Protein backbone atom coordinates (compact mmCIF):
# COMPACT_ATOMS: atom_id res chain seq x y z
CA UNK A 1 0.00 0.00 0.00
CA UNK A 2 2.87 2.37 0.83
CA UNK A 3 4.41 1.74 -2.59
CA UNK A 4 1.14 2.63 -4.35
CA UNK A 5 0.87 5.84 -2.31
CA UNK A 6 4.46 6.73 -3.18
CA UNK A 7 3.89 6.15 -6.90
CA UNK A 8 0.70 8.22 -6.84
CA UNK A 9 2.51 11.09 -5.10
CA UNK A 10 5.36 10.94 -7.62
CA UNK A 11 2.90 11.09 -10.52
CA UNK A 12 0.96 13.93 -8.88
CA UNK A 13 4.23 15.79 -8.34
CA UNK A 14 5.10 15.40 -12.02
CA UNK A 15 1.66 16.70 -13.05
CA UNK A 16 2.02 19.69 -10.70
CA UNK A 17 5.50 20.39 -12.08
CA UNK A 18 4.13 20.33 -15.63
CA UNK A 19 1.32 22.73 -14.66
CA UNK A 20 3.82 24.98 -12.87
CA UNK A 21 6.03 25.16 -15.95
CA UNK A 22 2.97 25.90 -18.10
CA UNK A 23 2.16 28.70 -15.64
CA UNK A 24 5.37 30.45 -16.62
CA UNK A 25 3.92 30.97 -20.11
CA UNK A 26 0.17 31.16 -19.41
CA UNK A 27 -0.83 34.21 -17.35
CA UNK A 28 -3.93 32.68 -15.72
CA UNK A 29 -2.10 29.59 -14.48
CA UNK A 30 -0.02 30.22 -11.34
CA UNK A 31 3.50 28.77 -11.20
CA UNK A 32 4.41 29.00 -7.52
CA UNK A 33 1.55 26.97 -5.97
CA UNK A 34 2.08 24.14 -8.43
CA UNK A 35 5.83 24.03 -7.77
CA UNK A 36 5.20 24.00 -4.02
CA UNK A 37 2.69 21.17 -4.49
CA UNK A 38 5.36 19.32 -6.47
CA UNK A 39 7.76 19.73 -3.55
CA UNK A 40 5.11 18.52 -1.10
CA UNK A 41 4.40 15.38 -3.14
CA UNK A 42 8.02 14.55 -3.86
CA UNK A 43 9.16 15.18 -0.27
CA UNK A 44 6.79 12.39 0.73
CA UNK A 45 7.54 10.01 -2.12
CA UNK A 46 11.03 10.42 -3.56
CA UNK A 47 14.08 11.89 -1.88
CA UNK A 48 15.84 11.86 -5.26
CA UNK A 49 13.19 13.98 -7.03
CA UNK A 50 12.77 16.28 -4.03
CA UNK A 51 16.54 16.89 -3.94
CA UNK A 52 16.53 17.55 -7.68
CA UNK A 53 13.80 20.17 -7.19
CA UNK A 54 15.69 21.80 -4.30
CA UNK A 55 18.84 21.98 -6.44
CA UNK A 56 17.01 23.33 -9.50
CA UNK A 57 18.34 26.77 -10.44
CA UNK A 58 14.86 28.15 -11.21
CA UNK A 59 12.73 26.66 -8.42
CA UNK A 60 15.16 25.47 -5.74
CA UNK A 61 15.49 28.67 -3.71
CA UNK A 62 11.74 29.26 -3.70
CA UNK A 63 11.04 25.70 -2.50
CA UNK A 64 13.80 25.86 0.11
CA UNK A 65 12.55 29.21 1.46
CA UNK A 66 9.00 27.89 1.67
CA UNK A 67 9.95 24.63 3.34
CA UNK A 68 12.25 26.19 5.93
CA UNK A 69 10.62 29.56 6.70
CA UNK A 70 7.27 29.78 4.86
CA UNK A 71 8.69 32.75 2.95
CA UNK A 72 7.20 34.20 -0.23
CA UNK A 73 9.68 36.63 -1.86
CA UNK A 74 8.40 40.19 -2.31
CA UNK A 75 8.83 39.97 -6.09
CA UNK A 76 6.59 36.87 -6.18
CA UNK A 77 4.01 38.58 -3.97
CA UNK A 78 3.78 41.54 -6.34
CA UNK A 79 3.80 39.37 -9.46
CA UNK A 80 1.08 37.05 -8.17
CA UNK A 81 -1.03 39.95 -6.90
CA UNK A 82 -0.87 41.82 -10.21
CA UNK A 83 -1.39 38.76 -12.41
CA UNK A 84 -4.19 37.21 -10.36
CA UNK A 85 -6.10 40.41 -9.71
CA UNK A 86 -5.59 41.60 -13.28
CA UNK A 87 -7.04 38.38 -14.67
CA UNK A 88 -9.95 38.35 -12.22
CA UNK A 89 -10.80 42.03 -12.76
CA UNK A 90 -10.65 41.58 -16.53
CA UNK A 91 -13.13 38.74 -16.21
CA UNK A 92 -15.35 40.71 -13.83
CA UNK A 93 -15.51 43.74 -16.13
CA UNK A 94 -16.19 41.70 -19.27
CA UNK A 95 -18.83 39.46 -17.68
CA UNK A 96 -22.49 40.27 -18.17
CA UNK A 97 -24.21 42.20 -15.37
CA UNK A 98 -26.84 39.54 -14.79
CA UNK A 99 -24.19 37.44 -13.05
CA UNK A 100 -23.47 39.98 -10.30
CA UNK A 101 -23.28 37.21 -7.70
CA UNK A 102 -20.48 35.50 -9.63
CA UNK A 103 -18.62 38.81 -9.89
CA UNK A 104 -18.97 39.23 -6.14
CA UNK A 105 -17.58 35.74 -5.50
CA UNK A 106 -14.63 36.37 -7.82
CA UNK A 107 -13.79 39.68 -6.12
CA UNK A 108 -14.05 38.02 -2.69
CA UNK A 109 -11.67 35.27 -3.84
CA UNK A 110 -9.24 37.86 -5.18
CA UNK A 111 -9.27 39.86 -1.95
CA UNK A 112 -8.94 36.86 0.35
CA UNK A 113 -6.18 35.24 -1.72
CA UNK A 114 -4.25 38.51 -1.90
CA UNK A 115 -4.53 38.96 1.86
CA UNK A 116 -3.36 35.35 2.40
CA UNK A 117 -0.32 35.81 0.11
CA UNK A 118 0.69 39.05 1.85
CA UNK A 119 0.31 37.48 5.31
CA UNK A 120 3.54 35.50 4.82
CA UNK A 121 6.97 37.07 5.40
CA UNK A 122 8.94 38.04 2.31
CA UNK A 123 12.35 37.30 3.76
CA UNK A 124 13.60 34.71 6.20
CA UNK A 125 13.89 35.78 9.79
CA UNK A 126 17.53 36.07 10.83
CA UNK A 127 18.86 34.12 13.80
CA UNK A 128 19.29 37.33 15.80
CA UNK A 129 15.61 38.26 15.28
CA UNK A 130 14.51 34.78 16.33
CA UNK A 131 16.65 34.91 19.49
CA UNK A 132 15.33 38.39 20.40
CA UNK A 133 11.75 37.06 20.41
Please report which confidence band the pLDDT of residue 64 belongs to, taking 50, 70 and 90 as the band edges.
Answer: very high
47 and 32 together in one domain: yes
133 pLDDT more than 80: no
Q: Round the CA-based radius of gyration of the chain to a whole number and report it.
A: 18
Contact, 118 vs 71, CB < 8 A? no
Cα 80 to Cα 7: distance, rounded to the nearest angstrom:
31
Our count of domains for the chain comes to: 2
Taking residue 13's Cβ as centre, other Cβ atoms within 10 Å add up to 24
Domain that holds residue 19: 1-69
27 pLDDT more than 50: yes
Cα 57 to Cα 38: distance, rounded to the nearest angstrom:
15
18 and 57 together in one domain: yes
Q: 67: exposed, middle or buried (C-beta count within 10 Å: 0-12, 13-18, 19+)?
A: middle
Q: Per residue in 68-80, is it b (16+ CB within 10 Å) or e — as a string?
A: eeebbbeebbeeb
131 pLDDT more than 60: no
86 and 41 together in one domain: no
pLDDT digits (tens, 9 = 90+) for 33-51: 899 999 999 999 999 999 9
Q: What is the mean pLDDT of residues 7-29?
A: 90
Amino acid sequence: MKKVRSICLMILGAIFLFLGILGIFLPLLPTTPFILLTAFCWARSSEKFHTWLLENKHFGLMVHNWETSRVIPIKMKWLSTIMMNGAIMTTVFTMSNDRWWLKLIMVAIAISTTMWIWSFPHEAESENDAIAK
